[in-house]
Structure 1
């Protein structure tokens, strides 16, 4: 299922499903999508976009718990439609910009906002398992409500 197909599918879910925990003791579907979208936004704006525009990176290592708590608050303050639109927007920007990089840009070690090495390849090595983890959670949830 493509990101755009996901947008259409998720957009068709009821508010009850959208605001239900994906499993006992877990976040709601809206929280999970917001969490993913805000991490995409952060890495895109602070890293990938900077590389594309040949600017210094501002991506930093953050406190995950604080970031995730802010994501939950964000999900409470914004409607489903906005969150889904932002999710698709940032995911497509990441895909488009990374696919436009040449091999040197993809593997190059850039200096991030913490003065540590950052590369697109290393970012993806962490990003893909994180994404798969949430995708599996969402798939289990969708099967449980079908």
Structure 2
């Protein structure tokens, strides 16, 4: 996965989330399945992770030392889901677009050759390409969940 592919995905994700402003409040706030999050909670949970990548990872990738482990996934996801339950859709979508746009701008500044330079997170060796490939896979998983529930509801 090269830099252009990653950038295209991030640009598309911004446009796609922007399109969710068209949803009804019921679609936005209903759980996508029994025991699952709502679309609001799914979109909100991307924000702290994008912020983490932007502020705690991107500038540290090539310091020749292992990057710190990510924060507690469950805790961070729970906090973002809780916030989504109380804020307006426009605020959740706005926060997503703002941080994802900043992340995209920072990615564009990274020269193409850096995308294949190895770095460590804990004991795991990665490249920017492999790191973002994992993040994109996560994005696409949630995007597919949302598309599926919306196509089912709108029949």
Normalised by the length of structure 1, the TM-score is 0.78
Q: What is the rounded CA distance, in whole Å, between the counterparts of 2:92 and 2:66 in structure 1?
A: 25
Distance 1:143 1:59, change over 3 A: farther
1:28 aligns with 2:46: no
Which has the bigger relative contact order, CA under 8 A and spacing at least 6? Answer: 2
- Name the Cα RMSD after superposition: 2.8
Contact 1:46 1:57 in 2 (8 A): no
Normalised by the length of structure 2, the TM-score is 0.74
Distance 1:63 1:8, change over 3 A: closer
The counterpart of 2:141, out of the listed 118, 123, 133, is 133
Report matched runs for 1:17-96 at 5 Å.
Answer: 17-48=27-58, 50=59, 60-96=69-105
Q: What is the rounded CA distance, in whole Å, between the counterparts of 2:89 and 2:110 in structure 1?
A: 32
Report how many aligned residue pairs link the two structures.
142
Q: Offset at 1:105?
A: 2.7
Q: What is the rounded CA distance, in whole Å, between the counterparts of 1:127 and 1:103 in structure 2?
A: 18
Contact 2:66 2:123 in 1 (8 A): no
1:122 aligns with 2:130: yes
Q: Which runs of 5+ in 1 are unaligned?
A: none
